[in-house]
Structure 1
């Protein structure tokens, strides 16, 4: 869409991205770019669990948080009619592209814009693993694809990098907590959890990584939420386990004080990039072509070159190789990526 075309559009929009955490975080840099370049402002429709990632974002003037029961069946259709009536004069920026968000679009009273999901290309690449398809998909990451809903050309990915705005009291919380781990010692955050088992690095590998970092004077802090904490008993020396102990804002405040974050392909991976922490991401069943690789200038992705990758979009499919793609990522390789800074443009191990 050209600049001339965008001037004919409204300057207020309802954004729809109901889940998941990482997807919501990846909208933040896009909305800030549109605010800065087009002067647009946004209301944001999402689930309450993900709203903290949007708090304090200048582009977002209002959060619209439906109750869980309002997202299904006849209740959702009624909510759609109410949302359309309350947002008379707004455009609808659909960054979800599901049947639920399309139902809202069908009832919308103004312009509706959607981003290209490249679903056919993704499926073809998953089936063929063709190099041409891979290269085409890797040209644009998810924030750039979001931006294509509005703009004719995708801005460079650094212009759309996700951002979290922390208050001073939140920053102070992070500084105090990390300072309590030890004076003037580097700290690496570990996020060992994943929704799908296929994206989890083995527990023993996390223990080995923590031990290797401790041997060279680093502290480690475990973040995230999970019913079975990684170090429920006897965490390695120098490791503080904060599993289930922090909310999204507190997690961001801690990450902002860490020198690095090691994580799988996850929502907290994007939180790390959003607060400027160097991310070492471990990719197994998923790949960069899906568009979710971290985009910080010194972020790196570590992955195992296996012919069966990628096997799914989100890592939810069962694996006959016993998650070999994750098991074969060596703790020594990850430790080196934490300890040795990559070049100014980042890279892959």
Structure 2
């Protein structure tokens, strides 16, 4: 018989070693668990690079890190070491929305009495509680993840991040205290078919420059995005367009909490915006909001091609190039669609 009653004061672990967006959405589980069981001690396990997101999280006692860099031998040697360290913590429960064998290994060797995952997990046999993975029907990822903890912590909470005062400094210096007169745009994606064409981003910026003399724009991205963002800013040639590449994730989160809107692709920054409840416009190209990774902010819009394409969506994560070589799902989302959506969101959030 499965253990369904969990005593108070347990040490619990949430494992999500996928990408930034997945780790951010998993904070919904942390928020929900803490609201229902504030006496429990919460731990997180994430991939190296994502741990900075939780540096000041008030409900997370410790963040464990799996370094996936290097070859397979090094990667899995670290996984074995991590599993031993986690087992020594004597967790009462382990929850993993991550659907890969590595998370099953960590859960299975944890010694926890409750181990909860999705039934599609490749190591489903090591879990005590399995749940249907509702996908493609519009169910959001945070709702899916909530199924894993519902028996012990009901009442779904939104994902949330907690920037510190030090995370505010770069944005406050850049914006010079002009709260609310900015829009953040994140034009880049590691998947080309998830990235609205750069020419369209340039058109959006130009349209905004011509239509509103008060609004400043900040182009944000990773360090590797810097050359592309700099070139984009150079192309529009305006002192109202600024580049901020390579900022820490919580610095980005703070900045998003201070602006009138965030315009983004279906990528990690979308989920940072959701966690900060920033007004959001999300442009979906090859992927679909029906996958469950759309915006969650109180004021948001999704913009996508209006015509139904037989080839769309062409995959969950996007591709390096369009499999059909036309990329209509990106090119046919026009500038005016996004511009109008941005101003509707700004107006709605200002009421």
Regarding TM over 0.5, the answer is: yes
TM-score (norm: length of structure 1): 0.83
**Which residue pairs with 1:125 in the alignment?**
none
How far does the alpha carbon of each residue in 1:91-147 deviate from its partner, in whole angstroms, 9 at most, with x for none? 22122120111122232211343343779xxxxxxxxxxxxxxx9744521111111
Q: Which whole-Å deviations, capped at 9, do the CAs of 1:1-60 have from their partners, x for residues lacking one?
A: x9x934358721122111200000001122111111123331111123111222222221
Given that 2:170 and 2:251 are in contact with CA atoms closer than 8 Å, whether structure 1 keeps it comes out as yes
- The change in CA–CA distance for 1:91 and 1:204 in structure 2 (over 3 A counts) is same
Q: 1:6 to 1:177 in 2, by over 3 A?
A: farther
1:123 equivalent in structure 2: none
The question of 1:63 aligning with 2:63 is answered yes
CA contact 1:280–1:338 (8 Å) conserved in 2 = yes
Contact 2:192 2:318 in 1 (8 A): yes
Preserved contact between residue 261 and residue 277 of structure 1 (Cα < 8 Å): yes
Between the aligned partners of 2:120 and 2:90, the Cα distance in structure 1 is: 31
Which shows bigger deviation, 297-306 or 72-81?
Answer: 72-81
- 8 Å contact from structure 2 (residues 277, 296) kept in 1: no
Change (3 A) 1:141 1:37: same
Q: 1:175–1:257: 8 Å Cα contact kept in structure 2?
A: no
Aligned partner of 2:127 in structure 1 is: none
- Aligned residue for 1:296? 297
1:230 alignment partner in structure 2: 229
CA distance in 1, matches of 2:61, 2:229: 38
Which secondary structure does the structure 2 equivalent of 1:207 belong to? helix
Residue 104 (structure 2) pairs with residue 102 (structure 1):
yes
* Residue 212 of structure 1, aligned match among 207, 225, 234: 207
**In 1, distance between residues paired with 2:180 and 2:150?**
44
Q: Deviations over 1:137-179 (max 9, x none)?
A: 44521111111111159967xx432211121232344233223
- Aligned-residue offset at 1:191: 0.4
329, 334, 345: which is aligned to 1:330? 334
With the length of structure 2 as denominator, give the TM-score of the two structures: 0.82
Q: Cα deviation per residue 1:245-294 (whole Å; 9 max; x = unaligned)?
A: x1212211221211111111011111112112111001111112211001
1:127-276 maps to which residues of 2 (within 5 A)? 137-152=136-151, 159-179=156-176, 183=178, 186-215=181-210, 216-217=212-213, 218-225=215-222, 226-227=224-225, 228-232=227-231, 234-236=234-236, 237=238, 238-244=240-246, 246-276=247-277
CA 1:298 to 1:223, structure 2 compared with 1: closer, same or farther past 3 Å? same
Residue 319 of structure 1: aligned partner:
323
C-alpha distance in 2 between matches for 1:137 and 1:206: 28
Q: Which runs of 5+ in 1 are unaligned?
A: 120-134
Query: What is aligned with 1:132?
Result: none
Q: Report the RMSD for the aligned CA atoms in angstroms.
A: 3.0
CA distance in 2, matches of 1:302, 1:256: 21
